[in-house]
């Protein structure tokens, strides 16, 4: 009986070790997955105003592909007399302890910087796509935003 349990345990350990080594080789040899991760957003440069579509994992780590300055998510004002597009950047709350943003801070962050209207919304990515691209379901041909600043 002891010999049977010993052999069974040795077989289980051998198969487990082979599976572990096989997985390790597959991960080491397989080509890296080049698919971009993160949400597809319209981003706008805070300095030059360039608007582009990019896959964004963390907006604070993204920079403009033209001038290298930080970008924000592209939002637009819905006020009838304004209708401007602006980069939305969540700022640290003023006169509050770190991480203690209140409802007032949230409203101030989402207000239009030109007319101070609270009627704002993110610019949808679909507006820029052609009907042909929508039908195929392909991603847009825009370049991803680089992760490092240029020349700084």
| 93-111 confidence digits (pLDDT tens) | 665 565 566 777 777 778 8
pLDDT of residue 38: 78
Query: What backbone phi and psi angles, to 5 degrees, belong to 45?
Result: -70, 140
Q: How confident is the model over 76-88, as pLDDT tens digits?
A: 999 999 999 999 8
DSSP code of residue 69: -
37 vs 14, residue with greater confidence: 14
Is residue 41 very low, low, confident or very high in pLDDT (cuts 50, 70, 90)? Answer: confident
pLDDT at 77: 93
Asked whether 68 and 150 are in contact (CB, 8 A), the reply is yes
What is residue 113's three-state secondary structure? coil
Lowest mean pLDDT among 36-45, 90-99, 107-116: 90-99
- Gap between the Cα atoms of 96 and 93, Å rounded: 6
Average of per-residue pLDDT values in the chain: 77
| CA distance linking residue 32 with residue 70, whole number of Å | 28
Q: Give the phi and the psi of residue 114 in degrees, each rounded to 5.
A: -90, -45
- DSSP category for residue 99: T
- Over range 5-18, report the average pLDDT: 90
What pLDDT, on a 0 to 100 scale, did the predictor assign at position 94?
Answer: 62
What is the rounded distance in angstroms from the CA atom of residue 41 to the CA atom of residue 67? 19
CA angle 56, 54, 30 (to 5 degrees): 70
Which pLDDT does position 62 carry in this prediction?
Answer: 87
Q: Is the pLDDT of residue 131 over 70?
A: no
- Predicted confidence at residue 68, as pLDDT, reads 87
The two beta strands, 39-45 and 85-88, are unpaired
8 Å CB contact between 85 and 44: yes
């Amino acid at each position: 009986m002891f010999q049977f349990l010993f052999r069974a345990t040795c077989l289980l350990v051998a198969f487990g070790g082979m599976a572990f080594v096989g997985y390790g080789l597959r991960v080491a040899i397989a080509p890296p997955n080049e698919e971009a991760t993160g949400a597809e957003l319209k981003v706008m440069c805070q300095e030059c105003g360039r608007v582009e579509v990019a896959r964004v994992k963390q907006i604070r780590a993204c920079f403009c592909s033209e001038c290298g300055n930080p970008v924000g998510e592209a939002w637009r004002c819905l006020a009838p007399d304004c209708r401007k597009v602006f980069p939305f950047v969540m700022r640290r709350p003023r006169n509050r302890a770190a991480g203690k943003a209140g409802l007032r801070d949230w409203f101030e962050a989402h207000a239009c910087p030109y007319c101070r209207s609270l009627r704002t919304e993110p610019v949808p990515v679909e507006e820029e796509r052609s009907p042909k691209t929508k039908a195929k379901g392909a991603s847009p041909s825009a370049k991803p935003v680089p992760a490092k600043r240029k020349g700084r």
